[in-house]
Protein backbone atom coordinates (compact mmCIF):
# COMPACT_ATOMS: atom_id res chain seq x y z
CA UNK A 1 0.00 0.00 0.00
CA UNK A 2 2.81 2.40 0.87
CA UNK A 3 4.46 1.76 -2.50
CA UNK A 4 1.17 2.35 -4.33
CA UNK A 5 0.66 5.61 -2.47
CA UNK A 6 4.16 6.76 -3.36
CA UNK A 7 3.63 5.95 -7.04
CA UNK A 8 0.28 7.75 -7.06
CA UNK A 9 1.88 10.82 -5.50
CA UNK A 10 4.67 10.80 -8.08
CA UNK A 11 2.22 10.50 -10.98
CA UNK A 12 0.09 13.31 -9.57
CA UNK A 13 3.17 15.53 -9.46
CA UNK A 14 3.99 14.64 -13.06
CA UNK A 15 0.51 15.54 -14.32
CA UNK A 16 0.70 19.07 -12.98
CA UNK A 17 4.30 20.18 -12.49
CA UNK A 18 7.78 19.12 -11.53
CA UNK A 19 8.42 18.86 -7.84
CA UNK A 20 11.41 20.91 -6.74
CA UNK A 21 13.55 17.78 -6.58
CA UNK A 22 12.52 16.81 -10.11
CA UNK A 23 13.24 20.32 -11.35
CA UNK A 24 16.72 20.20 -9.84
CA UNK A 25 17.41 16.80 -11.35
CA UNK A 26 16.23 17.59 -14.88
CA UNK A 27 18.01 20.95 -14.95
CA UNK A 28 21.12 19.82 -13.06
CA UNK A 29 23.50 21.53 -15.52
CA UNK A 30 22.11 24.97 -14.69
CA UNK A 31 24.99 27.11 -13.33
CA UNK A 32 22.82 30.01 -12.14
CA UNK A 33 20.49 30.82 -9.28
CA UNK A 34 17.01 29.34 -9.17
CA UNK A 35 13.48 30.36 -8.36
CA UNK A 36 11.86 29.00 -5.22
CA UNK A 37 10.42 26.04 -7.14
CA UNK A 38 13.87 25.17 -8.53
CA UNK A 39 13.35 26.62 -12.01
CA UNK A 40 16.64 27.97 -13.43
CA UNK A 41 17.01 31.75 -13.23
CA UNK A 42 19.40 32.95 -15.92
CA UNK A 43 20.52 36.46 -14.81
CA UNK A 44 18.84 39.52 -16.31
CA UNK A 45 22.25 40.87 -17.32
CA UNK A 46 22.87 37.78 -19.47
CA UNK A 47 19.37 37.95 -20.96
CA UNK A 48 20.18 41.47 -22.16
CA UNK A 49 23.20 40.12 -24.01
CA UNK A 50 21.03 37.41 -25.57
CA UNK A 51 18.82 40.17 -26.96
CA UNK A 52 21.65 41.13 -29.31
CA UNK A 53 21.79 37.69 -30.94
CA UNK A 54 20.28 36.17 -34.07
CA UNK A 55 18.96 32.61 -34.34
CA UNK A 56 21.84 31.83 -36.70
CA UNK A 57 24.30 32.69 -33.95
CA UNK A 58 22.49 30.39 -31.51
CA UNK A 59 22.45 27.65 -34.16
CA UNK A 60 26.24 27.94 -34.51
CA UNK A 61 26.60 26.59 -30.95
CA UNK A 62 23.70 24.35 -29.92
CA UNK A 63 23.82 21.48 -32.47
CA UNK A 64 27.58 21.17 -31.99
CA UNK A 65 27.02 20.97 -28.23
CA UNK A 66 24.69 18.02 -28.72
CA UNK A 67 21.40 19.95 -28.72
CA UNK A 68 20.03 19.79 -32.30
CA UNK A 69 16.34 19.94 -31.35
CA UNK A 70 15.97 23.39 -29.80
CA UNK A 71 14.75 25.43 -32.79
CA UNK A 72 11.26 25.84 -34.25
CA UNK A 73 10.16 28.01 -37.16
CA UNK A 74 7.04 28.54 -39.24
CA UNK A 75 5.28 30.99 -36.91
CA UNK A 76 2.70 33.72 -37.25
CA UNK A 77 4.47 36.59 -35.50
CA UNK A 78 3.11 39.81 -34.06
CA UNK A 79 5.82 42.49 -33.87
CA UNK A 80 8.65 40.61 -35.60
CA UNK A 81 10.69 43.81 -35.26
CA UNK A 82 10.95 43.10 -31.52
CA UNK A 83 13.03 40.20 -30.24
CA UNK A 84 11.51 37.90 -27.67
CA UNK A 85 13.83 37.06 -24.76
CA UNK A 86 13.00 35.52 -21.39
CA UNK A 87 12.83 32.42 -19.19
CA UNK A 88 10.42 29.67 -20.20
CA UNK A 89 7.37 28.78 -18.15
CA UNK A 90 5.98 25.72 -19.91
CA UNK A 91 2.37 24.60 -20.21
CA UNK A 92 1.05 21.45 -21.84
CA UNK A 93 -2.51 21.14 -23.12
CA UNK A 94 -4.13 18.06 -24.65
CA UNK A 95 -7.40 17.52 -26.53
CA UNK A 96 -10.25 17.47 -24.03
CA UNK A 97 -11.13 14.06 -22.57
CA UNK A 98 -13.89 14.44 -19.96
CA UNK A 99 -12.77 11.77 -17.48
CA UNK A 100 -9.24 13.24 -17.33
CA UNK A 101 -10.53 16.80 -17.22
CA UNK A 102 -12.73 16.03 -14.21
CA UNK A 103 -9.71 14.84 -12.25
CA UNK A 104 -7.63 17.83 -13.32
CA UNK A 105 -10.41 20.15 -12.15
CA UNK A 106 -10.75 18.33 -8.83
CA UNK A 107 -7.01 18.41 -8.19
CA UNK A 108 -6.79 22.05 -9.20
CA UNK A 109 -9.61 23.00 -6.87
CA UNK A 110 -7.91 21.12 -4.03
CA UNK A 111 -4.78 23.20 -4.62
CA UNK A 112 -6.75 26.43 -4.53
CA UNK A 113 -6.64 27.13 -8.28
CA UNK A 114 -9.54 29.19 -9.58
CA UNK A 115 -11.33 29.84 -12.85
CA UNK A 116 -10.05 28.60 -16.23
CA UNK A 117 -7.16 26.13 -16.32
CA UNK A 118 -4.88 28.30 -18.47
CA UNK A 119 -5.18 31.06 -15.85
CA UNK A 120 -3.63 28.70 -13.30
CA UNK A 121 -0.40 29.04 -15.28
CA UNK A 122 -0.75 32.75 -16.02
CA UNK A 123 -1.01 33.51 -12.30
CA UNK A 124 2.44 31.94 -11.79
CA UNK A 125 4.23 34.20 -14.30
CA UNK A 126 6.91 36.56 -13.02
CA UNK A 127 8.95 39.40 -14.59
CA UNK A 128 11.17 38.06 -17.37
CA UNK A 129 9.10 34.89 -17.90
CA UNK A 130 7.82 33.75 -21.29
CA UNK A 131 4.72 31.57 -21.43
CA UNK A 132 5.51 28.64 -23.77
CA UNK A 133 2.32 26.67 -24.38
CA UNK A 134 1.99 23.37 -26.21
CA UNK A 135 -1.51 23.33 -27.71
CA UNK A 136 -0.62 20.63 -30.28
CA UNK A 137 -0.92 23.11 -33.17
CA UNK A 138 -4.64 23.70 -32.59
CA UNK A 139 -5.81 26.67 -34.69
CA UNK A 140 -9.38 25.69 -35.53
CA UNK A 141 -10.82 27.38 -32.47
CA UNK A 142 -9.87 28.25 -28.95
CA UNK A 143 -7.27 31.01 -28.74
CA UNK A 144 -5.30 30.66 -25.52
CA UNK A 145 -5.45 34.40 -24.78
CA UNK A 146 -7.21 37.48 -26.10
CA UNK A 147 -6.42 41.13 -25.54
CA UNK A 148 -7.37 41.11 -21.84
CA UNK A 149 -5.11 38.25 -20.74
CA UNK A 150 -2.43 39.37 -23.20
CA UNK A 151 -2.45 42.72 -21.41
CA UNK A 152 -1.98 40.90 -18.10
CA UNK A 153 0.96 38.90 -19.49
CA UNK A 154 2.60 42.01 -20.95
CA UNK A 155 2.31 43.92 -17.67
CA UNK A 156 3.58 41.06 -15.48
CA UNK A 157 6.37 39.63 -17.65
CA UNK A 158 7.42 42.50 -19.95
CA UNK A 159 8.22 39.82 -22.55
CA UNK A 160 5.77 37.93 -24.80
CA UNK A 161 4.31 34.49 -25.49
CA UNK A 162 4.91 31.38 -27.59
CA UNK A 163 1.85 29.26 -28.38
CA UNK A 164 1.84 26.14 -30.53
CA UNK A 165 -1.79 26.94 -31.23
CA UNK A 166 -4.01 29.97 -31.68
CA UNK A 167 -4.60 33.32 -30.03
CA UNK A 168 -7.71 35.46 -30.36
CA UNK A 169 -8.38 39.21 -30.55
CA UNK A 170 -5.45 39.88 -32.86
CA UNK A 171 -6.79 43.38 -33.45
CA UNK A 172 -6.77 44.04 -29.72
CA UNK A 173 -3.47 42.33 -28.95
CA UNK A 174 -1.43 44.12 -31.60
CA UNK A 175 -1.48 47.59 -29.93
CA UNK A 176 -0.15 46.04 -26.69
CA UNK A 177 3.16 45.80 -28.53
CA UNK A 178 4.50 42.51 -27.17
CA UNK A 179 5.94 39.78 -29.42
CA UNK A 180 3.53 36.91 -29.98
CA UNK A 181 4.51 33.68 -31.74
CA UNK A 182 1.54 31.46 -32.62
CA UNK A 183 0.29 29.11 -35.31
CA UNK A 184 -2.74 31.20 -36.22
CA UNK A 185 -5.66 33.31 -35.04
CA UNK A 186 -9.28 32.47 -34.22
CA UNK A 187 -12.12 34.55 -32.77
CA UNK A 188 -13.24 31.94 -30.21
CA UNK A 189 -12.03 31.59 -26.63
CA UNK A 190 -9.98 28.66 -25.38
CA UNK A 191 -12.02 25.44 -25.45
CA UNK A 192 -11.71 21.73 -26.09
CA UNK A 193 -8.43 21.32 -24.19
CA UNK A 194 -7.21 20.19 -20.78
CA UNK A 195 -4.14 21.46 -18.96
CA UNK A 196 -2.07 18.34 -18.31
CA UNK A 197 1.06 19.99 -16.97
CA UNK A 198 2.98 23.18 -16.33
CA UNK A 199 6.69 23.64 -15.76
CA UNK A 200 7.39 20.20 -17.18
CA UNK A 201 9.22 19.21 -20.41
CA UNK A 202 7.04 19.96 -23.44
CA UNK A 203 7.30 19.72 -27.21
CA UNK A 204 6.95 22.81 -29.38
CA UNK A 205 6.95 21.56 -32.94
CA UNK A 206 10.26 19.74 -33.28
CA UNK A 207 11.82 21.40 -30.21
CA UNK A 208 12.01 20.08 -26.66
CA UNK A 209 11.57 22.76 -24.00
CA UNK A 210 12.36 22.65 -20.30
CA UNK A 211 11.19 25.21 -17.74
CA UNK A 212 13.89 27.85 -17.33
CA UNK A 213 15.22 27.55 -20.88
CA UNK A 214 16.04 30.92 -22.37
CA UNK A 215 13.51 31.72 -25.07
CA UNK A 216 14.99 33.65 -27.98
CA UNK A 217 12.84 34.70 -30.90
CA UNK A 218 13.52 36.90 -33.91
CA UNK A 219 12.04 37.22 -37.40
CA UNK A 220 13.34 33.77 -38.38
CA UNK A 221 11.95 31.68 -35.51
CA UNK A 222 12.54 30.63 -31.92
CA UNK A 223 15.39 28.95 -30.06
CA UNK A 224 15.02 27.43 -26.60
CA UNK A 225 18.50 27.65 -25.09
CA UNK A 226 19.47 25.39 -22.15
CA UNK A 227 20.74 27.61 -19.31
CA UNK A 228 24.18 26.00 -19.17
CA UNK A 229 24.83 26.96 -22.81
CA UNK A 230 23.67 30.58 -22.70
CA UNK A 231 27.07 32.05 -21.81
CA UNK A 232 28.79 29.99 -24.51
CA UNK A 233 26.29 31.21 -27.10
CA UNK A 234 26.82 34.84 -26.09
CA UNK A 235 30.61 34.53 -26.12
CA UNK A 236 30.64 32.89 -29.56
CA UNK A 237 28.26 35.54 -30.89
CA UNK A 238 30.51 38.39 -29.74
CA UNK A 239 33.38 36.85 -31.70
CA UNK A 240 31.09 36.35 -34.72
CA UNK A 241 29.98 39.99 -34.60
CA UNK A 242 33.59 41.14 -34.83
CA UNK A 243 34.32 38.77 -37.72
CA UNK A 244 31.21 39.88 -39.61
CA UNK A 245 31.90 43.57 -39.07
CA UNK A 246 35.44 43.26 -40.40
CA UNK A 247 34.32 41.12 -43.34
CA UNK A 248 31.59 43.52 -44.37
CA UNK A 249 33.85 46.56 -43.99
CA UNK A 250 36.32 44.94 -46.39
CA UNK A 251 33.59 44.08 -48.91
CA UNK A 252 32.27 47.65 -48.84
CA UNK A 253 35.59 48.88 -50.20
CA UNK A 254 34.83 47.02 -53.43
CA UNK A 255 38.45 45.88 -53.66
CA UNK A 256 38.06 42.17 -52.91
CA UNK A 257 36.47 39.04 -54.32
CA UNK A 258 34.32 37.01 -51.95
CA UNK A 259 36.98 34.29 -51.81
CA UNK A 260 39.61 36.83 -50.72
CA UNK A 261 37.79 37.54 -47.46
CA UNK A 262 35.04 35.00 -46.71
CA UNK A 263 35.08 32.95 -44.54
CA UNK A 264 38.85 33.25 -43.67
CA UNK A 265 41.33 35.25 -45.76
CA UNK A 266 44.21 33.33 -47.36
CA UNK A 267 46.52 36.35 -47.71
CA UNK A 268 48.88 36.50 -44.67
CA UNK A 269 48.64 40.31 -44.65
CA UNK A 270 44.85 40.20 -44.49
CA UNK A 271 45.00 37.54 -41.79
CA UNK A 272 47.24 39.78 -39.71
CA UNK A 273 44.95 42.75 -40.33
CA UNK A 274 41.99 40.72 -39.09
CA UNK A 275 43.84 39.52 -35.98
CA UNK A 276 44.86 43.10 -35.19
CA UNK A 277 41.23 44.14 -35.62
CA UNK A 278 40.12 41.44 -33.17
CA UNK A 279 42.71 42.51 -30.60
CA UNK A 280 41.67 46.12 -30.95
CA UNK A 281 38.07 45.07 -30.26
CA UNK A 282 39.13 43.20 -27.14
CA UNK A 283 38.94 39.66 -28.53
**Domain parsing of the chain, residue ranges:** 15-227, 231-280
Residue 6, pLDDT above cutoff 50: no
Q: Cα–Cα distance between 57 and 60 in angstroms, integer? A: 5
Average pLDDT value for residue range 160-177: 96
pLDDT of the residue at 7: 35
Q: Tell me the residue length of the chain.
A: 283
Average pLDDT, the chain: 90
pLDDT at residue 239, as a whole number: 74
Nearest Cα to Cα of residue 167 among 84, 81, 75? 75
Assess whether the previous peptide bond of 263 is cis (omega < 30° from 0): yes
pTM (two decimals): 0.86
Tell me what pLDDT residue 87 has. Answer: 98
Q: CA nearest 170: which of 159, 186, 189? A: 186
User: Which has the minimum average pLDDT: 41-50, 69-78, 230-239, 255-264?
Assistant: 255-264
How many angstroms separate the CA atoms of 273 and 223, rounded?
34
Helices (H), 113-169: 117-122, 147-157
Instruction: Give the residue from 135, 200, 127 showing the smallest Cα distance to 164.
Output: 135
Q: Is the pLDDT of residue 165 over 90?
A: yes
Which pairing describes strands 214-217 and 71-72: parallel, antiparallel, or unpaired? Answer: unpaired
Q: Is the dihedral of CA 92, 96, 100, 104 positive or negative?
A: positive
**What angle (nearest 5°) sits at the alpha carbon of residue 25, between those of residues 21 and 26?**
120
Cross-strand bridge partners of residue 86 = 215
pLDDT digits (tens, 9 = 90+) for 200-223: 999 999 999 999 999 999 999 999
**pLDDT exceeds cutoff 50 at 11:** no
Check whether 85 has a pLDDT greater than 70.
Answer: yes
Provide the pLDDT for residue 276: 73
Is the separation of the CB atoms in 162 and 181 below 8 Å? yes
The CATH number that domain 15-227 falls under is 3.50.30.40
Q: Which residue has the higher pLDDT, 10 or 262?
A: 262
What would the mean pLDDT of 249-274 be, rounded to a whole number? 81
Question: Is residue 269 pLDDT above 50, yes or no?
Answer: yes
Report which listed range, 52-56, 180-184, 237-241, is most confident.
180-184
Amino acid sequence: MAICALVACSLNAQVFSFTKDQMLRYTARNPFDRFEDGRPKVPDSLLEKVRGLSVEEVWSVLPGAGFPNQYEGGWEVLHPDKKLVGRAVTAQFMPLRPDINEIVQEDGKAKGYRKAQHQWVLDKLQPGDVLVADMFGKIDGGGIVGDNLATYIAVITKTGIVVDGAVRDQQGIFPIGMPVYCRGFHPSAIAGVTLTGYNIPIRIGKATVLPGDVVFGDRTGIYFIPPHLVQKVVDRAEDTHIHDQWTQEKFRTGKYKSTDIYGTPDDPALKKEYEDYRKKRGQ
